[in-house]
């Protein structure tokens, strides 16, 4: 087991937490009924966030975030960079960075690891991420799969983010020297679970709307239409009878 260099950990932590904070800030701005920020204002905002997080020691918010949450995973870092790139290109809201297959894989693997960490499975899955054989083999297979996806242009941004995370682990052992910390963290797992829940709610709403449009018109509605038509014609008939009586 080899651990990353402390200096590289500090630099990585500041950059990664800055990307996460900037992504969360822009996500909050997307919820507000305001126009998208122009590129110059967006650049100034991002520069301010990154400068603030690169401050030395306890002056950096990353210092306190690292104490509470350790380091973001390399995959979360990559996904946040993708979201920032979407904002920079003017795609407010942008496309789905957390695609359903990726979200499902993160949600399932995260649930297994967290259950194991809580002692409900006790299989030592997390510590296997430090292993000298299994972890490098999984990283190699994952890198090959990402390379194939990029060549075939299948989910290329997500595959690039995952490949970058694996390379960070392979070359620099970032962020902690454990493969699972490279591919997963609580924030990324929450993002995946929230995305799957939102997708399920949206699909349920679409199915409900589709069923409503396919339902036949109720019989009583047709009767009401007939009665209203008769009621509209009744005054004219009464006028004609009155004129003929005169």
168-209 pLDDT tens trace: 999 999 999 999 999 999 999 999 999 999 999 999 998 888
Cα(20)–Cα(83) distance, rounded to whole angstroms? 10
**pTM for the whole thing?**
0.84
Where does the pLDDT of residue 30 fall: very low under 50, low under 70, confident under 90, or very high at 90 and above? confident
Domain annotation covers residue 166 = yes
Beta-carbon contacts of residue 132 (< 8 Å; ≥ 6 apart): 1
**What is d(CA 174, CA 71) in angstroms, rounded to the nearest whole number?**
9
Residue ranges making up the domain that contains 99: 6-214
Region of residue 105 (phi > 0: left; psi between -120 and 50: alpha; otherwise: beta) = alpha
Distance from C-alpha of 7 to C-alpha of 175, rounded to nearest angstrom:
11
Listed range (33-42, 74-83, 99-108) with the worst mean pLDDT: 33-42
- Specify if 62 maps to a domain: yes
Q: Is residue 229 part of a domain?
A: no
pLDDT band of residue 122 (cuts 50, 70, 90) is confident
Quick check: is 24 in a domain? yes
**Considering the domain boundaries, does residue 239 fall inside one?**
no
Q: Work out the burial of residue 35: count CB atoms within 10 Å of its CB; fewer than 13 is exposed, 13-18 middle, 19 or more buried.
A: exposed
pLDDT of residue 225: 55
- 187, 69 Cβ separation under 8 angstroms: yes
Number of domains in the chain: 1
Examine residue 225 and state whether it is found in any structural domain, yes or no.
no
Least confident of 52-56, 116-120, 130-134: 116-120
């Amino acid at each position: 087991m080899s651990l990353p260099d402390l200096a590289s950990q500090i630099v990585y932590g500041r950059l990664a937490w800055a990307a996460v904070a900037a992504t969360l800030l822009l996500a909050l701005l997307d919820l507000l009924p305001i126009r998208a920020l122009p590129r110059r204002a967006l650049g100034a905002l991002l520069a301010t966030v990154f400068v603030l997080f690169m401050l030395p020691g306890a002056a950096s918010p990353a210092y306190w975030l690292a104490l509470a949450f350790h380091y973001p995973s390399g995959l979360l870092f990559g996904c946040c960079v993708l979201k920032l790139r979407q904002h920079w290109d003017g795609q407010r809201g942008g496309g789905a960075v957390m695609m359903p297959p990726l979200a499902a894989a993160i949600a399932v693997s995260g649930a297994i690891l967290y259950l194991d960490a809580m002692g409900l499975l006790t299989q030592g899955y997390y510590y296997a991420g430090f292993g000298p054989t299994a972890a490098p083999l999984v990283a190699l297979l994952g890198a090959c799969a990402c390379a194939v996806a990029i060549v075939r242009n299948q989910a290329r941004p997500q595959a690039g983010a995952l490949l970058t995370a694996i390379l960070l682990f392979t070359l620099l052992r970032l962020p902690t020297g454990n493969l699972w910390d490279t591919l997963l963290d609580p924030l990324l797992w929450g993002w995946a679970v929230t995305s799957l829940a939102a997708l399920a709610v949206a699909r349920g709403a679409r199915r409900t709307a589709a069923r409503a449009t396919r339902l036949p018109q109720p019989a009583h509605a047709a009767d009401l239409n007939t009665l209203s038509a008769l009621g509209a014609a009744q005054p004219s008939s009464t006028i004609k009878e009155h004129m003929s009586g005169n």
